[in-house]
């Protein structure tokens, strides 16, 4: 009698542990934010990178450049050490990541500025990611 209850209970418990475990490892690698699945990125597109560069100029350039750290980190090589999903999540949810993600907390200690929410959409953040990918790959601005 006892066993027939405890096996399903144990099963549910293990299922629960494994699900929360997966959630945590996604967040550890890809940050907090709306992107919860792998982004399908194709070949680097220069026209999309140009679009991203314009969004960057309007919403990000006050605190970031591709090559130099100002109040925020240089972003021209970030694709080499962060996942695309992390970059997009950080762009859209800076506050959540700075406060709760170990990488965000480390960045907050390292940089004098505080990244405010810029209001860009996931789509716009993906365009900016394309600009970062272009810069990391070719070492120059798109459209040059």
Contact 70, 78 (CB under 8 A): no
- Tell me how far apart the alpha carbons of residues 130 and 107 are, in angstroms, rounded to a whole number: 22
Give the Cβ contact number of residue 13 at 10 Å: 11
Of 5-13, 18-26, 36-44, 63-71, the segment contacting ligand HEC by CB under 6 A is 63-71
Tell the burial category of 77 from Cβ atoms under 10 Å away from its Cβ (0-12, 13-18, 19+).
Answer: middle
Which positions ≥6 away from 105 have C-beta within 8 Å?
A: 98, 99
9 phi, psi to nearest 5 deg: -65, -45
Of 21-29, 37-45, 84-92, 135-143, the segment contacting ligand HEC by CB under 6 A is 84-92
Q: Which of residues 86-125 bind ligand HEC (CB under 6 A)?
A: 87, 90-91, 94, 98, 103-104, 107-108, 111, 113-116, 118, 120
Contact 88, 129 (CB under 8 A): yes
- Judged by CB under 6 A, does residue 52 bind ligand HEC? no
End-to-end CA distance of the chain: 75
Of 4-12, 16-24, 36-44, 74-82, the segment contacting ligand HEC by CB under 6 A is 74-82
The pattern of x and - marking residues 4 through 33 that bind ligand HEC according to CB under 6 A reads: ------------------------------
Q: Identify the residue among 35, 49, 53, 63 touching ligand HEC (CB under 6 A).
A: 63
- Judged by CB under 6 A, does residue 78 bind ligand HEC? yes
What residue ranges bind ligand HEC (CB under 6 A)?
59-60, 62-64, 71-73, 75, 78, 82, 87, 90-91, 94, 98, 103-104, 107-108, 111, 113-116, 118, 120, 128
């Amino acid at each position: 009698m006892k066993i027939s209850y405890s096996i399903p209970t144990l099963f549910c418990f293990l299922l629960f542990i494994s699900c929360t475990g997966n959630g945590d490892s996604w967040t550890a690698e890809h940050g907090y934010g709306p992107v919860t699945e792998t982004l399908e990125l194709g070949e680097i597109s220069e026209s999309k990178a140009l679009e991203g560069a314009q969004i960057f100029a309007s919403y990000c350039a006050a605190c970031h450049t591709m090559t130099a750290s100002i109040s925020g980190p240089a972003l021209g090589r970030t694709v080499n050490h962060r996942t695309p999903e992390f970059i997009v999540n950080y762009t859209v949810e800076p506050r959540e990541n700075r406060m709760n993600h170990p990488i965000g907390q480390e960045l907050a200690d390292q940089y004098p500025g505080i990244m405010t929410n810029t209001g860009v959409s996931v789509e716009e953040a993906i365009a900016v990611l394309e600009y970062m990918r272009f810069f990391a790959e070719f070492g120059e601005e798109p459209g040059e």
